[in-house]
Amino acid sequence: MKKLQRAVADKLHDWLEGIEAEELLKLMEVPSDASKGDLSLPCFKLSKKLRKAPQELADQLANAINGSLDSQSGIAHAESLSGYLNIYLDPKVITPGILRDILEAGEGYGSHQEGSGKTIVVDFSSPNVAKPFHVGHLRSTVIGGALVRIFKFMGYECIGINHLGDWGTQFGKLAVAYRLWGDPGRLEQGAIDELLSLYVRFHEEAERRPELEAEARAVFARMEQGDAEMLEQWKWFVELSLSEFNRIYELMGISFDHITGESFYNDKMDRVITELQERGLLEEDQGAMLVRLDDYNMSPALMLKQDGSSLYHTRDVAAALYRKDTYHFHQAVYVTDYSQSLHFRQWFKVVELMGYPWADQLVHVPFGRVSLEGTGFSTRKGNIVKLEDLLQQTIAKVREIIEEKNPELECKDEVARQVGVGAVIFNDLSSNRIKDIVFNWEQALSFEGETGPYVQYTYARICSLLRKGREVSEIFSQSNSIEELHLPDSEEYALVKQLSLFPQSVESAAAKMEPSILSRYLVDTAQAFNRFYHHCPVMDAERKLRDSRLLLTEGVRITLNNGLKLIGLEAPERM
């Protein structure tokens, strides 16, 4: 559709002195209601610039277009309506071009070169060692993973980083607790559960025996000084946790370019403190060091604790400096829940005050909370939602549904995993990321609702239809098959137009860092296909019509497949 929009913008530009085609392109809309045309230009902004009433301008443009129609341009006619110029395209002229683009590009359909030569670093997932991987980390993993794939598709070099929470005083406490009450057997069974219960026990006992706190501090100090034995212990805790996190990542098909946790920056913090001092930004307050941000209406950013140990802010600044030096990023993106918004605003400001002009390339991508309704998993009792259990139970439920609906299916376990994980991911992307969302099994697993399983099921039906039809590649390679497309029905045209909007959806998901634009797009596309399929027989149609409809169906398959992959869902061919 973009190509056509560009052609129309160029044409309109000829009649509008002083208005660039690029500006017209930006103003142009694709009305969701087909009765308002295929493209629409609101004339309100232009009317101010050109000092002409919107209605008059729209009238004038409609007349100009209608007076100069030529059958090749793809424009059928134009109408002026309440200040809008509505343009109707000629399906017969535009459909072949749209379908050819899709069929030729295949897996590349919707991709872009916009980002070529530029690097984006995405900091996402980032759970904390020895603590459970909770639904908030899941959402960061889903949104961050989708952004990485979308940016790559847009031509960027994209680097995914897991900023693992693997450093802090809690490791001193864990080491002490483990020495006193640890049990290797229990650790092997479920490391994070066991580490968490050691941590809880430490706090309980420390109430009665305050000397434990001092001991833990001493142990952590030894870790900070690089004591080999203590570091060995710390490393073991990290590895045990990571192997649990990795099971989740594997289930979800997520990988990182780097797992550089907070500890990676231990030797990179001095630089931050020195630079802050040199710039006179650091102020002492009751033994701690901070950067005042009163002028920017924010509470101070704490950079060094009383005991000299550094903080979350300092580490993030050190990591940003390192990433800029190492990857020369065009943008550095951080995906966390919105409760951390202040934290990011604070340290982004600190980087700016340090004199780094690229501070404006740091972007926080916040998202809303997830609550688990009717799942039997509770977020209230601390963050003890065992995410892996939630995923496994979802998969088991899908397995039951398959057993009931399609007992003959091969590879049931694999498909159950693809659909179960897909349902959880899709649910996370079901509305704008900033909104709080609810996970509810019945909703997420519905094959009829606006869900992952619904899109995947539509995809599998398409694959099955294509298996019955003549080889699409054979039809496509026949000369003239595209020029002679015969798709007379309005549901067909609606579907073609919907497919043509995919590249724009990818672009806008990337620009707004909003993967839900794609999940919305996929539901709309699946619905458009199902309407088409309901109205238009494919296999029973006469030869030419059937071939045309098969090509269209292949276009839908390609588009759904590309979109599903971008947001992190697999596309099983049978289910």
Residues within the interface to ligand ARG (CB under 6 A) = 123, 126-128, 163, 165, 316, 334, 336
- Which of left, alpha, beta for 29 (phi over 0: left; psi -120 to 50: alpha)? beta
Nearer to ligand ARG, 139 or 397 (CB): 139
The residues near 4 (Cβ < 8 Å, ≥ 6 apart) are: 39, 74, 89, 94, 500
Beta bridge partners of residue 161, listed in sequence order:
123, 258
Q: Which residue has the tokens 């003890």?
A: 384
> Residue 534 CA to chain centroid, in angstroms?
32
Nearest-approach distance from CB 376 to ligand ARG, in angstroms: 24
- Please give the full DSSP string across 446-461, using - where no structure is assigned: -SSSSSHHHHHHHHHH
Nearest CB to ligand ARG, comparing residues 127 and 453: 127
Closer of 167 and 529 to ligand ARG (Cβ): 167
Q: How far is the CB of 301 from ligand ARG (least distance, A)?
A: 13
Closer CB to ligand ARG, 95 or 128, in the complex = 128
Identify which of residues 140 and 233 has a Cβ nearer to ligand ARG in the complex. 140
Minimum CB distance to ligand ARG, residue 367 (Å): 12
Looking at the Cβ atoms of 12 and 191, the one nearer to ligand ARG is: 191
Q: Which is nearer to ligand ARG, 141 or 336 (CB)?
A: 336
Q: Of 471, 493, 491, 472, which Cα lies nearest the Cα of 536?
A: 491
User: How many residues in total does the chain contain?
Assistant: 575
Which 3 state secondary structure label does DSSP give 304? strand
**Is residue 7 within 8 Å of 70, Cβ to Cβ?**
no
Shortest Cβ 193–ligand ARG spacing (Å) = 18
In whole angstroms, the minimum distance from the beta carbon of 164 to ligand ARG comes to 7
- Give strand pairing partners of 81: 84
In the complex with ligand ARG, the residue whose CB is nearer, 5 or 346, is: 346
Identify which of 328, 338, 400, 331 has the alpha carbon closest to the alpha carbon of residue 365. Answer: 338
Output the smallest distance, CB 28 to ligand ARG, in A: 39
Q: How far apart are CA 400 and CA 406, in angstroms?
A: 10
Closest Cα to residue 317, out of 259, 358, 280, 287?
358
Shortest separation between residue 339's beta carbon and ligand ARG, angstroms = 9
Task: Quote the tokens at residue 386.
Answer: 């065992």
Q: How far is the CB of 140 from ligand ARG (least distance, A)?
A: 7
3-state secondary structure of 568: coil
Neighbours of 145 (CB within 10 A): 26
- Retrieve residue 393's tokens: 């139970």
The nearer residue to ligand ARG, 115 or 165, going by C-beta atoms, is 165
Rounded to an integer, what distance in angstroms lies between the CA atom of residue 34 and that of residue 531?
Answer: 15
Closest approach, Cβ 315 to ligand ARG, in A, equals: 8
| Nearer to ligand ARG (CB atom), residue 15 or residue 338 | 338
Query: Nearer to ligand ARG by C-beta: 3 or 258?
Result: 258
Nearest approach in angstroms of CB 198 to ligand ARG is 19
Residue 444 is encoded by which pair of tokens?
């997420």
Return d(Cα 492, Cα 502) in angstroms, integer. 16
User: Are 368 and 340 within 8 A, CB to CB?
Assistant: no
| Beta bridge pairs of residue 364 | 334
Q: Report the C-alpha gap between 405 and 11 in whole angstroms.
A: 54
d(CA 292, CA 283): 7
Residue type, 511: A
SS (H, E, C) 203-224: HHHHHHCCHHHHHHHHHHHHHH
CB of 389 to ligand ARG, least distance (A): 19
- Among residues 127, 120, 146, the alpha carbon closest in space to that of 337 is found at 127
The phi and psi torsions of 123 (rounded to 5 degrees) equal -95, 110
Considering the complex, what minimum distance in angstroms separates the CB of residue 103 from ligand ARG?
A: 42
Of the pair 320, 506, the CB lying nearest ligand ARG is at: 320
Query: How far apart are the C-alpha atoms of 226 and 491, rounded to whole Å?
Result: 68
Place of tokens 């103003």: 27
Rank residues 323 and 397 by Cβ distance to ligand ARG and give the closer one: 323
The least distance separating ligand ARG from the CB of residue 203, rounded to whole angstroms, comes to 19
Q: Decide whether 158 or 522 has the Cβ nearer to ligand ARG.
A: 158
Q: Report, in Å, the least distance between residue 187 CB and ligand ARG.
A: 22
Q: What is the secondary structure of 430-449 as a DSSP string?
A: SS-TTS-EEE-HHHHT-SSS
> Minimum distance from CB of 547 to ligand ARG (Å)?
52
Nearer to ligand ARG, 265 or 532 (CB): 265
- Whether the CB-CB separation of 333 and 120 falls below 8 Å is answered with yes
